[in-house]
Structure 1
Amino acid sequence: MDNTKPLIEPEPEPDDDGRIRRTGNVLTASTHIITVVVGAGVLALAWAMAQLGWIAGIASILTFSSVSIFTYSLVADCYRYPDPVTGKRNYTYMQAVKAYLGGTMHLLCGLIQYTKLAGITVSYTITSSTSLVAIRKAICYHKTGKEASCKFSNNPFMIGFGILQIFLSQIPNFHELTWLSTVAAITSFGYVFIGSGLCLSVILSGKGASTSITGTALPPADKLLRVFTAMGNIALACTYATVVYDIMDTLKSHPPENKQMKRANVLGVTAMTILFLLCSALGYAAFGDNTPGNILTGFTEPFWLVALGNGCIVIHMIGAYQVMGQPFFRIVEMGANMVWPQSDFINKEYAFMMGNVMLRFNSFRLVWRTIFVILATILAMLMPFFSEVLSLLGAIGFGPLVVFFPIQMHIAQRNIKKLSLRWCGLQLLSSLSFVVSLAAVVGSVQGIIKDFQKTNLFICVDNSSFRNQNVK
C-alpha cells in the first residue's frame, strides 16, 4: 500500500456561493463587534454621564444597548434574501438594502455608510497620534516636573501610524483580520480597565467629587446642548452597522449565519454595555462636574500606568483602522472588478511563500490602498479637529444605519401590514432615532463651530486630550 502523502494539499471545498469556505463562528464575530464598539470613545462616556446625571445617564446607555440588540437582530435576518436561511447572500449592507428596499435607498445607504467609514480612518489616525503624544508628555513630566514645557507635534506620530497602516492595508480581506481584531479587542479592555481602575482608586481614597441625579448644573441653553451631545455620544458608541455584514460574511453556514450573528450580537453588546456602565459611572464618581472628555487625561501618575493605557489605545486603533477600513477597500475593489473584469492589474493575484506563510499580492490593491492611507494621513494632519466632523457624520448615520434601514427591511421581509400595531411600533422607534440623530447633529455642529474659532487649520497643534466627542 502506498502511504506517501501528496505534496500539495487539496483545495478546501468552496462555500455555497463558490467563494472560499468561511470558518468564522460566534466567538470570532463577537470579537469583531467588541473591537468596533469598544473604541477609545468609551473613555468619553464619563463626560456624557456627567452631563445627563445618574438616572438619565444609566437609562440612556441601557436604552441604546437594548435598541442595538433588537435592530441588529433584524439586520442579521436580512443577510440572505428572500429567506433568512436559504436565500442568496448579501455581502454588504448596501446589497441588503437594495434587495429589500430598492435602488434609491441603496444609494442613500452607500453614501452614508462609506463616507463614514472613510472618515473613521482619519479620526483613528488623529486618536492614535494624540495618545502617543500623551505618552511622551507623561514621560517628560515625570522626568522634568509638572512645570516643564512638554509640547510635541502630532505630525510625526501620524506619519508613523500611516506608514504602518500602508503595510497592514495589504491584508487582502476582512476574513484574515481575526488575529488583528483579537489583539485590538484585548487592548480595548486594557485601557478601559486602566482608566476605570484609576478612577476607582480616587473614589476609594475618599477624594471623589460630588455628583448629582441631574448632572452638571449649567444655564438652560448650554445644558440642552450638552445633553444633546452626550446622548449622541452614547448612541454613536453603540453602533457597528457600517461593518455588520462584513462580520456576518466571515461566518460558516452551519448553523445558519443569522442565528450565529444574533448570539454574537447579544454577547458583544452585553460586554459593551458592562464596560460602558463601568467606565462612565466610575469616571463621573471620580471627577464629578469636572469630568474630562477622556478620563485618562485626568491623571498624570502613576505615569507608567497612564502611558500603558494610552499605549493600549494606540494598539487598538491599529486594529480598528483595518476593521473599519476593509469594508471601504472592498466596495471600491468590487466596483473596479465590475468595470474592468478583464484587467490583470485589477484582478490578477500573485501568490508567494514567506517562510511557511502563503502571501497574496495584487497590483491594484497595493496602489490604491496605499494612496488612500496617504490621503487619510494628510487629511488628519491638516484638520486635527476632524473627530468633531466625524461625530457629525456619525450623528447623521445613526438613525438611518442603526434603526431606519433595519426596520424598513424587516417590514418588507415579513410583509408587515401598514398601520398594524407592530408597524406603528416600529415606525415610532424609527422616528425617535431620527430625533436622537438630529439632537446629536446639533451638538456636533456646536463643537465644530467652536473648533473653527480656536483652531489654525493646516497646523497640527499639540493636543493631548480628547474632545467631548465620541471618536468612533
Structure 2
Amino acid sequence: MEREAMAKRNMCVEQDPEAFRSGGVQKNLDDDGRVKRTGTVVTASAHIITAVIGSGVLSLAWAIAQLGWVMGPVVLAAFSFITYFTSTLLADCYRSPDPITGERNYTYMDVVRAHLGGRKVQLCGLAQYGNLVGITIGYTITASISMVAVKKSNCFHKNGHEVKSVCETSSYPFMIIFACIQIVLSQIPDFHKLSWLSLVAAVMSFAYASIGVGLSIAKVAGGGHHARTTLTGTTVGVDVSGSEKVWRVFQAIGNIAFAYAYSTVLVEIQDTLKSSPPENKVMKRASLIGISTTTTFYALCGCIGYAAFGNDAPGNFLTGFGFYEPFWLIDFANVCIAVHLIGAYQVFSQPLLGFVESWCSKRWPNNTFITREIPVDVPWYGIYHINLFRLIWRTVYVIVTAVIAMILPFFNDFLGLIGAASFWPLTVYFPVEMYIARTNMRKFSFTWAWLKILSWACLVVSLVAAAGSVQGLIQSLKTYKPFKTQ
C-alpha cells in the first residue's frame, strides 16, 4: 500500500498541476506520458547558438593568424560542414527504431544504448559528462575574466594604457559572484524551462560578437599602421620559431573544431521539441540555422579580426585588450559575454544534473528525500516544487566547479584536452556508427567507406589538438604562480 501511494504521489508530481485543474490530463501529455513538450525551431536554434557561440568566438582571430588567409577559412568551412552533417545523423537517432514514430531516447546515452549497446554506452557517458564538467569549469573561469576586464577597462581609461600593474585585479571574487548566480539558476528543474535563458544568452552572443566585428572594421578602416597578414599565417623566424608554429597550428585547428561542438547537448535539446512536425526534421532545420549563424559570426570575427591585428592577434581581443577605446563599449561587450556564459553554463550543466537525479531516483525510488516535491507559492511566479535533493546536489555541484576554477585558473588548457578527448567520439564516431547500424549499411560499400574515412580523419584532428593542448598545459604549469591575481 505504501509503495502504491508513493507511485501515485510521484505521478502527480510529474504531471502538470494545471492539467489536473482543467480536467484535461491526456491532452496535456505527450505520447510517452510526460508533460507535453512546447519547443520549436526558434527555441532549439537559440539553445544551439547559446551552446556553440561561446566567448571563444573572440579568439578566432588568433586561430586564423596561426593558419593564414588560405587554411583559416578552409578549416572553418570544413568543421562547419562536418558538425552539421553529423548533427543530422544524430537527430535521426532521437527515436528508435523509426526516426519519426519510434520510442523516444531522452539522453545521448539512451540513444547509444538503443542503437549500439554494450560498453559503448559507458564510453559515451564518460566522454559526454566528463566534457560537460570541464565546460562548466571553463565557463566559470572565462566569465570571471570578462568581469575582470570591465574593471580593468575602466582603470585603463582613468590611469592610461601603460599602467598595467596598477590595474591588476583578482578574478576570485568574480568567480564567487558567478557561482552565486548559478546556484539560483541551477534550480531551474530541467531543459524544458531554459528557453527564455537561452534566448537572452543568444542575443548577448550576437551583441558581443557584433561589437568585436565592428571594432575590428573600425581599426582596419582607420588606416595608420597596417597589420601584417600572410597567406600562411604567423611566419617562422619572424613571429614564431618552427616548433612554436607547429604547436600553434595544432591548437588553432583544435580551437576551431571544438568551437562547433554541441553534440553533448543535442539530444537533450531535441527532447524539448513538440512532436508535430517530427522532431528530427525540426532539429535538422534548427541545426542548419544555428550552425549557419555561428559560422557567419565565426568568419567575420576571425577574418576581420585577423585583418585588424595581423599575426600579432591577441588570444581574445576584448578581454585581452586588443582594443582600449571606447571603454564603455568594451565594458558593455564584456558584460554581454558574462551574461551569455551564465546561460551557456546552464545549457551544458542541465544534462549532467538531470542524469544524476534520474539515476538516484531509480536507485532509491522509496527515499522521500530524493523523490519528494514540496510545493511552494512564489510571488509573481506561482507554485514552484522544491526538491531537497535537487537543491543540495545542484548547489554542491556549482560550488565544486567554482572551487576547481579558483585552484586551477588555467583550466582552459585542461578544457582543450577534455574537448580533444570528447570531440571525436561525441561529434563524429557515435553519430556515424549509429547511422551505419540503423540503416544496416553493407560493409565496404561506397557510403560505408567514406563515412569511416571521415571518422578516422576527425580522430587524427582530435589527437593533433590533444597534443597541442598538452603542450599548452605544460607551458601554463611552468609559468603558474598560485594566488597570483588574474
Q: TM-score, normalised by structure 1?
A: 0.95
SS at match of 2:28: coil
The aligned residue for residue 303 of structure 1 is 327
The aligned residue for residue 86 of structure 1 is 101
- Aligned-partner Cα distance in 2 for 1:440–1:173: 33
Residues 1:352 and 2:376 are matched in the alignment: yes
Structure 1 position 183, deviation (Å): 0.5
The aligned residue for residue 80 of structure 2 is 65
SS at match of 1:128: helix
The aligned residue for residue 406 of structure 2 is 381
SS at match of 1:295: coil
Higher mean displacement: 242-251 or 6-15: 6-15
Q: 1:427 aligns with which of 452, 461, 469?
A: 452
Residues 1:182 and 2:199 are matched in the alignment: yes
Structure 1 position 224, deviation (Å): 1.6
Residue identity matched to 1:77: D
- Aligned-partner Cα distance in 2 for 1:220–1:57: 19
The aligned residue for residue 275 of structure 1 is 297
Structure 1 position 356, deviation (Å): 4.2
Structure 1 position 9, deviation (Å): 3.5
- Aligned-partner Cα distance in 2 for 1:19–1:356: 26
Residue identity matched to 1:270: S
- Aligned-partner Cα distance in 2 for 1:255–1:375: 41
- Aligned-partner Cα distance in 2 for 1:53–1:152: 34
Residue identity matched to 1:287: F
- Runs of 4+ that moved beyond 3 A: 6-12
Structure 1 position 330, deviation (Å): 0.6
Structure 1 spans left out of the alignment, 5+ residues: 1-5, 464-472
The aligned residue for residue 451 of structure 1 is 476
Residue identity matched to 1:66: F
Question: Equivalent pairs: percent with the same residue?
Answer: 50
Higher mean displacement: 152-161 or 355-364: 355-364
- Aligned-partner Cα distance in 2 for 1:113–1:349: 28
Higher mean displacement: 7-16 or 100-109: 7-16
Structure 1 position 462, deviation (Å): 3.0
Q: 1:216 aligns with which of 215, 234, 248?
A: 234
Residues 1:205 and 2:230 are matched in the alignment: no
Residue identity matched to 2:218: S
Q: 1:406 aligns with which of 414, 431, 451?
A: 431
Residue identity matched to 1:46: A
Residues 1:25 and 2:25 are matched in the alignment: no
The aligned residue for residue 127 of structure 1 is 142
Structure 1 position 342, deviation (Å): 1.2
Q: 2:123 aligns with which of 58, 83, 108?
A: 108
The aligned residue for residue 248 of structure 2 is 226
SS at match of 1:53: helix
The aligned residue for residue 436 of structure 1 is 461
Structure 1 position 141, deviation (Å): 1.5
- Aligned-partner Cα distance in 2 for 1:456–1:345: 43
Structure 1 position 35, deviation (Å): 0.3
Structure 1 position 456, deviation (Å): 2.2
Structure 1 position 431, deviation (Å): 0.3
Change (3 A) 1:428 1:164: same
Residues 1:157 and 2:209 are matched in the alignment: no
The aligned residue for residue 210 of structure 2 is 193
Q: 2:485 aligns with which of 459, 462, 465?
A: 462
Residue identity matched to 2:311: D
- Aligned-partner Cα distance in 2 for 1:146–1:95: 53
SS at match of 2:447: helix
1:390-405 correspondence to structure 2 within 5 Å = 390-405=415-430
Structure 1 position 371, deviation (Å): 0.6
Residue identity matched to 1:335: W
Q: TM-score, normalised by structure 2?
A: 0.92
Cα deviation per residue 1:368-404 (whole Å; 9 max; x = unaligned)? 1111111111111110000110110001111111101
SS at match of 1:134: helix
Q: 1:286 aligns with which of 308, 312, 331?
A: 308
SS at match of 1:312: helix
1:1-40 correspondence to structure 2 within 5 Å = 8-10=21-23, 11=25, 13-40=28-55
SS at match of 1:70: helix
Structure 1 position 360, deviation (Å): 1.8
- Aligned-partner Cα distance in 1 for 2:386–2:410: 35
Structure 1 position 27, deviation (Å): 0.9
Structure 1 position 241, deviation (Å): 0.7
- Aligned-partner Cα distance in 1 for 2:384–2:362: 24
The aligned residue for residue 6 of structure 2 is none
Cα deviation per residue 1:329-380 (whole Å; 9 max; x = unaligned)? 0110111011001111111112222234232210100011111111111111
- Aligned-partner Cα distance in 2 for 1:248–1:81: 14
1:310-325 correspondence to structure 2 within 5 Å = 310-325=334-349
SS at match of 1:360: strand
Over the aligned positions, Cα root-mean-square deviation in angstroms equals 1.3
Cα deviation per residue 1:307-337 (whole Å; 9 max; x = unaligned)? 1111110000110010110011011011101
Structure 2 spans left out of the alignment, 5+ residues: 1-18
SS at match of 2:276: coil
- Aligned-partner Cα distance in 2 for 1:206–1:146: 21
The aligned residue for residue 51 of structure 1 is 66
Structure 1 position 8, deviation (Å): 3.7
State the aligned residue count: 456
- Aligned-partner Cα distance in 2 for 1:340–1:380: 32
Residues 1:76 and 2:76 are matched in the alignment: no
SS at match of 1:412: helix
- Aligned-partner Cα distance in 2 for 1:153–1:28: 36
Residue identity matched to 1:160: I
- Aligned-partner Cα distance in 1 for 2:79–2:161: 40
Structure 1 position 210, deviation (Å): 2.1
Residue identity matched to 1:103: G
Residues 1:264 and 2:286 are matched in the alignment: yes
